[in-house]
Amino acid sequence: MNAIAQHLERILDLARWAPSGDNTQPWRFEILGDEHILVHGLDTRDHVVYDLDGHASQLAIGALLETMAIAASATGRSATIQRRPDTPETHLLFDVRFRPEAGMTPDPLLPCIETRVVQRRPMSTRPLSGEQKQALAGSLPEGYSVIWYEGFAQRWRLARLMFDNAKVRLTIPEAYAVHKSVIEWGAQFSTDKIPGQAVGVDPLTAHFMRWVMASWTRVGFFNTYLFGHLPPRLQLDLLPGLRCGAHFALIAPAPLLSVDDYIAAGRAMQRFWLTATRLGWLIQPEMTPVIFTRYHRQGLIFTETQTALGEVGWLNERLDRLLGTGRIERVFFMGRIGAGPRPWARSTRKKTDDLILNSG
């Protein structure tokens, strides 16, 4: 790698910690000058069932761009971001230009970039205070809003929704292919996958899952005859769904129709998540209902498993009722939030050097 300006290296070293689905990190950086980076935004729609039309990757790229803007403040710089028109959705290009600003102070969210983490295990049921919810809502851009699901009854409704969605997730071959490729079993940390110790199940269940997931035939047998999907659904969805402070849904001002809508939503999501981190709260995304029900509403066949297609229609109706009239096309992020110790295992990131394209 050619030498780059120290402030750009600092910005990229922070920006790479932006979240992405299954730690895919669908971005690369091209240095065009001491104050200019070209961000290459990729997606995984061709082989990942969770990346419908690249939307999951677009949210992640939006989070990356917001993180870059926050990171720039550490060097006393502002960031101007512009998407290049007429580029394929599968390979977006963003010009990010930095400018030194006299007297600029670091963004308050700057210290949270590297400490933000996913907590997949049960957390405290302590509710958020009114002031904390107000701070989180206030982190969103104008027109965006958050819906809270609090108290045992609401947590139970959301936990059941996630539990039932998980049956689809764990019984279709299209998702199996993803899960098999993104989990690094036994690892505490992983630079480009989800480490096995961060998955959120106990060691015995982890050992069972690893053995079963060695082949789809084995998965199908256990799911069909021995309810093999039940232990992970209990540990990954139902119990964590009950053991949290609240569930939430982030709502855009209008239905998300374009790449730019998803990029903007990703930027909003990242500020919300970093604000939660600053307040001492942990978050786990709950995106399966958002993704699978969108397949249903668009009439897309995303799996060869017919029973799963029928179940997603029912899940879409439940999600629509939970969100309220006119919101299902505007929801872009769901999750659970709670207090507790930070996870001992987590995804890390690729080295900055490995994310920089050599333009020489």
- Identify the pLDDT of residue 359: 56
Percentage of the chain exceeding pLDDT 70 = 99
Architecture per CATH, domain 6-113, reads as: 3-Layer(aba) Sandwich (3.40)
- Identify the pLDDT of residue 360: 47
- Identify the pLDDT of residue 227: 76
Classified as helix, coil or strand, 171 is: helix
- Identify the pLDDT of residue 107: 98
In the chain, the amino acid numbered 292 is: F
- Identify the pLDDT of residue 2: 55
Q: How far is it, in rounded angstroms, from Cα 219 to Cα 172?
A: 10
Residue 16: name the closest of 76, 50, 73, 60 by CA: 60
- Identify the pLDDT of residue 16: 98
Instruction: Provide the strand spans (E) within the chain.
Output: 27-33, 36-42, 77-83, 91-100, 145-149, 183-184, 189-190, 194-195, 246-251, 282-285, 331-338, 346-347, 356-357
Q: Sheet harboring 331-338: ordered strands across?
A: 145-149, 246-251, 331-338, 282-285
In angstroms, the Cα distances linking 333 to 4, 86, 209, 344 are 35, 27, 27, 25
Domain boundaries for CATH 3.40.109.10 within the chain? 6-113
Q: Is the pLDDT of residue 1 over 50?
A: no
Please tell me what DSSP assigns to residue 130. Answer: H
List beta partners, residue 249: 147, 334
**196-234 pLDDT per residue, tens:** 999 999 998 899 899 999 999 999 888 876 778 898 999
Confidence of residue 358 (pLDDT cuts 50, 70, 90): confident
- Identify the pLDDT of residue 329: 97
**46-105 pLDDT per residue, tens:** 999 999 999 999 999 999 999 999 999 999 999 999 999 989 999 999 999 999 999 999
Structure tokens at 307: 């029973």
Structure tokens at 89: 């959705």
**283-334 pLDDT per residue, tens:** 999 999 999 999 999 999 999 999 999 999 999 999 999 999 899 999 999 9
**227-270 pLDDT per residue, tens:** 788 989 999 999 999 999 999 999 999 999 999 999 999 999 99
pLDDT: which is higher, 350 or 201: 350
List beta partners, residue 79: 98
- Domain 130-346 in CATH 3.40.109? The answer is yes
